Structure 1
Amino acid sequence: MTTSGPPTAAPRTLVELRTLIDAIDERILALLNERARIAAEVGEHKRAAQPSAPFHVPAREREILARLEALAAGPFPREAIRPVFQEIMSACLSLERPLRVAFLGPEGAFSQQAVKYQFGLSAHALPQRSIAAVFHAVEGGQTDYGVVPVESATQGVVDPTLDAFLESELRVVAEILLPLELALLVHHDVDRAAVRRVYAQPELLRQCERWLSANLPQATPLVASSATEAARLAREDPEGAAIAPDVAARLFDLRIAAEGVQDAGGDATRFWVLGRKPSTRSGKDRTSLVVSVKDGPGVLLRVLEPLARRGVNLTRIESRPTGRRAWEYAFFLDLEGHETDEAVAAALADLRAVSAGVKLLGSYPRAEPLAR
């Protein structure tokens, strides 16, 4: 005699599965609207309690993202949690007032990608003509934050950013590490095989040499002055394409024909977020500062010795003349830890005792490189 177990449920049909997804999407939308209403109430409470308090609280955003990433159990990708909830928080914050963020333009530049990553699509990204103009926009209160490049993995530090800090009281409140992500942009009705010319900056053409050779051998590379100019030229050329960040596609009504066209081992850029108030301690911080010294024997040792004695790890050092007095130099340092950490605070005090001056640029959460 044989016995049979409970009947096996019949596999759900494609129509049934799509119906379930539609219902879940509607529930998600309803929850988003509920979250937005509660976020608006939070804004009202903050304004009533402290009318002059900042409406944007980065530390609170970091707490939310860290908690949600820790709860990740799959199958939804853990690396997708941050961008999804960053957009949700950006949209909810825009109900109170969109964040205004200055960046080194023009529109479509890599700095705009950094703004999008850090603040979401609901922030108002305002292009500036120079790094100095980004500083001025934040200093003058025209924007809440600024985003400037500070270091490239292949081209080194960005001198105008470091130089601007010598005359500015702004603070570094966050850092962003973005890998070079390039896309091939074409007209909406053009197939990739029909492309005859590819416009790009010389450096970006170099970064995509192998991909272009393998995928567009029929196309002639042509130099453009910027990624934005490349997209504009491609827009005017029915058989043209551009190598540019994907944000340029929307600006010039182009189609993304291929993503990730940079060759393996490509560039990455580190950006600093500029603000008017210091960042709170996160527990995984970096501190940037400028130490001014008179040139002479053993000057570098005098700068490094207090850090070694206090057990503070130095992750970067860059030197340049201050331009203020003859033979005076500035060392730009990156240290592990926050300015309020006991060891870092003691090292800063020691540095002030052996140097012509110490200027703290900021203590801020360390950024992790984004996966390609």
Structure 2
Amino acid sequence: MTHFDPKALADLRRSIDAVDDQVLALLNRRAGLAAEVGRLKSEVAPEALFHAPKREREVLNRLEAENPGPFPGAAVRTIFQEIMSACLSLEKPLRVAFLGPEGTFTHLAARHQFGGSSQALPQGTIQAVFQAVERAHADYGVVPVENATEGAVDTTLDAFLDSPLRICAEILLPVDQALLLRPELELGSVRRVYSHPQALGQCRRWLEAHLPQADRIEAPSTSEAARLAREDAEGAAVASELAAELFGLRVAETRIQDLAANATRFVVLGPKAAEPTGRDRTTLLAMAQDGPGALLRLLEPLARRGLNLSRIQSRPTRRKLWEYAFFLDVEGHAEDPLMHEALVELQSACASLKVLGSYPQAVMEGAR
């Protein structure tokens, strides 16, 4: 049996304290350098957007690759994301609009992308997120675009039909739904389950098996569902564990979604496209010319050049009866030679074609 040495433990803790002091000093040194960068930027282009996503990606990728351990690589990325977010706030805090309120999965996606020091601007609707960025009330917007279980978020696709905004990034976020209850409420006493329609759909089988007696009531967001459950003596909510913390609820069950590897894809809205990285995706909005073979004419220029079409979704334009717009996700950047050739050909094959954005393909959090 190893003898416990209080003095050795005390010495180790003093060493940790000394390292913490060094880390704090270096953080403040980095913050000072970031502030100097901000000063130089303001002299050259006072109205320019200070955020440099490409530079940020390069720094995060380099640090994660050079990490010798034992500190976890994923934690390196998370911590330095927060450090960069905090340093950027010294230059000019990023204003990020998202589908709110706070505690939703879109809020988590925005924090994952921009860090906790960004200025979070919750919006009541997806259309309001678009408007906040279009009117320069926010630098970026974050909205959901599709879920692995429930498919496309049609409201987001419809908002792109008339918006000048570009997609400048995407976020893949694991979505683990939890059942939240008031602390004193038992599962058998639940009569109503509140949540966003997408979340209710993601947990359909679990709710039918475990809460067949409960009515399902749609809410504008999972966070609002948690608030409603807190006010209802016989109510529960399907939401995130973060929402349980925000609203003082008990997490009765975790991971109740029907698909274990449930995930939602979010897109970041901005005024301009991202630069090529070598591993990109391009989203197109195409209006097909009416007539036989219209869809084939959209797909052929891509297939002939070996460009991978990862998603296609149609939506009515609401401008003309039976007129449809097609949203296409294609692997590659609009500036890549083959993609550029395909876009030129598509332009003549479509009634109209709009590049909604080229941006880095996201990697699922924890899958690096």
Shorter chain as denominator, the TM-score bin is 0.7 to 0.9
> TM-score, with normalisation over the residues of structure 1?
0.85
- TM-score normalised over the length of structure 2: 0.86
Shift of 1:208: 6.0
Q: Give 1:317 shift.
A: 1.0
Match 2:73 to one of 54, 74, 78: 78
Distance 2:12 2:64 in 1: 27
- The 1:35–1:186 alpha-carbon spacing in structure 2 relative to 1, beyond 3 Å, is farther
- SS of 2:288's partner is strand
Q: CA RMSD in A?
A: 3.2
* Correspondence for 2:366: 371
Look up the equivalent residue of 1:247 and give its one-letter code: L
State the number of aligned residues.
Answer: 359
Instruction: Name the structure 2 match of 1:41.
Output: 36
1:333, distance to aligned residue in structure 2 (A): 0.7
CA shift, 1:221, in A, is 6.2
The alpha-carbon deviation at position 347 of structure 1 amounts to 0.4
Identify which of 55, 60, 63 aligns with 2:55.
60
How much does 1:11 deviate? 11
SS at structure 1 position matched to 2:51: coil
Equivalent residues of 1:294, 1:328 under 8 A apart: no
Matched with 1:360 is 355
Are the aligned partners of 1:113 and 1:245 in contact in 2 as well (CA < 8 Å)? no
> Which amino acid counterpart does residue 297 of structure 2 have in structure 1?
R
Which structure's CA Rg is the greater one? Answer: 1
Cα distance change, pair 135–70 in 1 and its aligned pair in 2 (3 A): same
8 Å Cα contact 1:199-1:231 kept in structure 2:
no
The partner residue of 1:247 within 242, 246, 260 is 242
2:164 matched to 1:169? yes
Q: Which amino acid aligns with 1:155?
A: E
Q: Distance in 1 between matches of 2:164 and 2:43?
A: 30
With over 3 angstroms needed to count, the CA separation of the structure-2 counterparts of 1:195 and 1:301, relative to structure 1, is: closer
The answer to whether the Cα contact below 8 Å between 2:194 and 2:228 also exists between their aligned partners in 1 is no
Q: 2:184 and 2:26 mapped to 1: Cα distance?
A: 40
Uncovered stretches (5+) of structure 1, i.e. residues with no partner:
1-9
Tell me which residue corresponds to 2:103: 108
The 3 A distance-change label for structure 1 pair 323 and 309 is same
* Mapping 1:316-331, distance limit 5 Å: 316-331=311-326
The alpha-carbon distance between structure 1 residues 186 and 18, as it changes in their structure 2 partners (threshold 3 A), is: farther
**Aligned CA distance change for structure 1 residues 134 and 158 (closer, same or farther; 3 Å):** same
**TM-aligned CA deviation for residue 46 of structure 1:** 0.7
Which secondary structure does the structure 2 equivalent of 1:13 belong to?
helix
Give SS of 2:326's match. Answer: strand
> Which whole-Å deviations, capped at 9, do the CAs of 1:38-84 have from their partners, x for residues lacking one?
11111001111222321111111111111111112221111222211
- Cα distance in 2 for partners of 1:49, 1:134 equals 30
**Cross-structure match for 1:334:** 329
Which residue of structure 2 aligns with residue 4 of structure 1?
none
- Deviation per CA, 1:14-42, whole angstroms, max 9, x where unpaired? 33332222222222122111111111111
When residues 79 and 221 of structure 1 are mapped into structure 2, their CA distance, relative to the original with a 3 A threshold, is farther
The one-letter code matched in structure 2 to 1:333 is L
Matched, 1:146 2:131: no
Question: Deviation string for 1:166-219 (max 9, x for gaps)?
Answer: 1111000000111112356577xx5999996595427646756898999xx89x
Amino acid at match of 2:143: V
Distance 1:258 1:321, change over 3 A: closer
SS in 1 for 2:159: helix
Does the Cα contact within 8 Å between 2:185 and 2:234 map onto a contact in 1? no
**Is this contact kept in 2: 1:200–1:221, CA < 8 A?**
no
State the match for 2:87 in structure 1: 92
Q: Which runs of 5+ in 2 are unaligned?
A: none
How far apart are the structure 2 equivalents of 1:26 and 1:221? 54
Report the alpha carbon displacement of residue 298 of structure 1 after superposing the two structures with TM: 1.0
